[in-house]
Structure 1
Amino acid sequence: MDKSAMSDPQQPATVAILAYPEATASVVYGMYDLFMATGRDWGIVTSGEAGPSLLRPLVVAARAGPLLATNEVRIEAQASLQECSSADFVCVPDLNIPPGESLEGRFAEEVEWLRRCYAAGATLASACSGTLLLAEAGLLDGQEATVHWAYCDELRRRYPKVMVRAQRALVVSGEGQRLVMAGGGTSWLDLALFLIARSVGVDAAMQVARINLIDWHAIGQQPFARLARTRQVEDAIIAGCQTWIAEHYCEHSPVAAMVRLSGLAERSFKRRFQLATGMSPLDYVHRVRLEEAKQMLESGDDPIEAIANAVGYEDAGFFSRLFRRSVNLTPAQYRRRFGSMRRALNAGV
């Protein structure tokens, strides 16, 4: 690929979409379709005549040709990493691996290619868990970042120099604002619109959004988050306390009760709990209670005060403030947004 194309105003900007077996084909080809549609499809729907495509998407992989991606869907890489020596934008799709699985040496070619692209001036954009590859390349050290909520703790643990912003669905950082990350599973749509707006213009991005009925994820990803931690089998005492609190989260003074259950001194218990779960016992209790509150808000019509009492809070005002700080929505807003979604989904089954 001729690097001079990057500076030629008559040439559409090149968007390289990285593919690998751990990617999801819907994300790879979904981005490809939106980029191809930019400038072209608005004319089709408004005047019946296609306009010029204003972006040039290209699916690239370690080797050109077919590869079998997640769910055994075949992706056709149009060029190898070696053949794609430059691009204006590089998109890194989701990485469909368990949060705790090691990446060491697994994506060596892709990581080195990402470093080269960034050094050459490309904007790098990741969707969902793809942020892990940017971190593995060392590009996020000292930078703000976001990732799918299920991988936030793993991103912090593996790459302590990264400033993780878990509540934000989209983060832009790095030199020249050339690192763009979308956190949630479908926030690759936000990512694509952002790149279209940056490369072609806001009007073009709005046209793509209108044609495809894309709704911006302005509320962030925290409302979708679930308690993504399993029992800590390495510490049987703490695992027993986690099992206990899952059934007794509404009791008064649950931390004191877990201390008694553990048989440890309070200071030792809190230290071991923090080490095993990554959070203090009280924060863990709040997390469990709020997850149960989300379920109640989604599935029923009980008053907010009743839900607060049911999950262990006597002060409904405190519950509402804690909920908003954690979820970025008030309990009433959460119910309106996700209660209607749950009812609509239930009606369809």
Structure 2
Amino acid sequence: MACLTSAIEPLRAANEIAGEEAFRWKILAEGDAPIASSAGVFFAPDLRLAEATGPETALDHVFFVASPDGCFEDPIKANAALQRHLRAGGRIGAFSGGIFPLARSGLMAGQPMSVHWCYEAAFQAEFPEIDILQTVLSDQGACQTASGAAAVFDLMLNHIEARLGPAITTETACWFQHPFVRGASVRQKLPALGNAASHDMLPPKVAQAIEVFARHIEEPIQISAVAEEIHMSSRSLERSFKRATGQSPLKYYRQMRMKEARQLVLYGRDSITSIAYTVGYSSPAAFQRHYREIYGISPQKERQAKTSLKITDDSVLPSM
């Protein structure tokens, strides 16, 4: 819902500020039934997808808005409609979890995509052939993707500037107290685990160690080897981590691996045993024990809970 409204509201405001209907939008769906958002708010579609694509509709963009496990009820018919849209000169994109059904369509093969950090592990596991961008936006070829709701707002402001100029864009941003407009080169902010700071606020050596950890999720590395790689003693690295994050480097590293595992549990399709091996555990039992210690629930039960919480086929997902 946040992604959808973040697309519509700046365009609505820009029209009002400019005194003209520079932008129009429609909510598309496969059928006529209202679509439930993850917040339980329903949106009524304006048009069916099959009726809204092709030269006669003159749509500039079609954006996917969905949860990560979203899919078409009739993929062949939906893909045919989207192909008509592309042949007519339109572009396709996706917001947040909508990148999953977009990638499953196969229409954007070879196109890099901006992937929200909380979906990165699951997306990479399902689509290893797609280049993942860690920027807030991507705008390449016929594809535009935005990593989250605020990024969608940025994308719409970029469209407003291209159509109506910087003055209207600035006023639109100020209407919503959106302090600045981010472009496709801006990287996503990542939270430092168990800390109120974001990743870019950490001391340089701690940030370097975390980057080494990230490269060794599947094949764990000793903390002493990490310290040696970033030219620190193990004792100094330990002290630096505790000052910056309140945790030891070993505990932080384990949390990183569990965070990636949880993405795969919630949004991926691999078995729990396969996920354990993917995040560097040789014993699924040890993986499940550490998972319960951090999240208070087994990976099997959390996956089952995600399914039982849905109000439609691909609606409500637990928070990360």
Q: Which band: TM-score by shorter chain?
A: 0.5 to 0.7
> Mind listing any 5+ residue stretches in structure 1 that lack a counterpart?
1-23, 44-50, 228-249, 251-273, 288-301, 314-349
Aligned to 2:220: 281
Look up the SS of the partner of 1:92 in the other structure.
strand
- Matched residue, 1:193: 157
Residue type of the partner of 2:243?
A
Higher relative contact order by CA 8 Å / sep ≥ 6: 1 or 2? 2
* 1:185-264 matched pairs, under 5 angstroms: 185-215=149-179, 216-217=181-182, 220-224=187-191
* Alignment-derived partner of residue 137 in structure 2: 170
Query: What aligned pairs does 1:101-112 form with structure 2 within 5 A after superposition?
Result: 101=69, 103=71, 109-112=77-80
How does 1:1-349 map onto structure 2 within 5 Å?
24=1, 26-40=2-16, 42=17, 51-64=19-32, 66-85=34-53, 86=57, 87-93=59-65, 95-97=66-68, 101=69, 103=71, 109-165=77-133, 167-174=134-141, 178-215=142-179, 216-217=181-182, 220-224=187-191, 279-282=218-221, 306-307=243-244, 311-312=248-249
**Superposed displacement of residue 221, structure 1:** 1.9
Write the letter of the residue equivalent to 2:103. Answer: A
Output the aligned Cα RMSD.
Answer: 3.8
Q: Deviations over 1:271-294 (max 9, x none)?
A: xxx9xx95331399999xxxxxxx
Identity of aligned residues (%): 19
TM-score norm. by structure 2 comes to 0.55
Unaligned ranges ≥5, structure 2: 195-205, 207-214, 227-238, 251-320
**Cα distance in 2 between the residues matched to 1:186 and 1:118:** 26
Secondary structure, counterpart of 2:31 in structure 1: coil
Q: Which has the larger radius of gyration?
A: 1
Shift of 1:53: 2.2
User: In structure 1, what residue type is equivalent to 2:143?
Assistant: L
Worse-superposed segment, 213-222 or 123-132: 213-222
The separation in 2 between residues aligned to 1:285 and 1:142, in whole angstroms, is 39
SS of the counterpart of 1:71? coil
Q: Which amino acid aligns with 1:279?
A: E
Matches of 1:113 and 1:96, distance apart in 2: 21
Quote how far apart the aligned CAs of 1:214 are: 1.5
Tell me which residue corresponds to 1:243.
Answer: none
CA–CA distance in 1 between the matches of 2:86 and 2:137? 19
Amino acid across the alignment from 1:148: H
Check whether the contact 1:114–1:134 (CA below 8 A) recurs between aligned residues. Answer: no
Secondary structure in structure 1 of the residue aligned to 2:119 = helix
- Contact between 2:70 and 2:101, CA under 8 Å: does it hold in 1? no
SS in 1 for 2:51: coil
- Preserved contact between residue 116 and residue 148 of structure 2 (Cα < 8 Å): yes
Cα shift at 1:107: 5.5
Distance in 1, matches of 2:23 and 2:70, equals 35
Q: Contact 1:65–1:78 (CA<8 Å) still a contact in 2? A: no
Cα distance in 2 between the residues matched to 1:109 and 1:156 = 27
Q: 1:131 to 1:102 in 2, by over 3 A?
A: closer
Residues of 2 paired with 1:164 and 1:127: CA distance?
14
Instruction: Measure, in 2, the Cα distance between the counterparts of 1:129 and 1:202.
Output: 30
Task: State the shift of 1:169 in Å.
Answer: 0.7
Cα distance in 2 for residues equivalent to 1:88 and 1:148: 24
Q: Which residue identity is paired with 1:204?
A: I
Sort the Cα spacing of 1:164 and 1:103 in 2 relative to 1 into closer, same or farther, 3 A.
same
Q: Which runs of 4+ in 1 moved over 6 A?
A: 283-287, 302-305
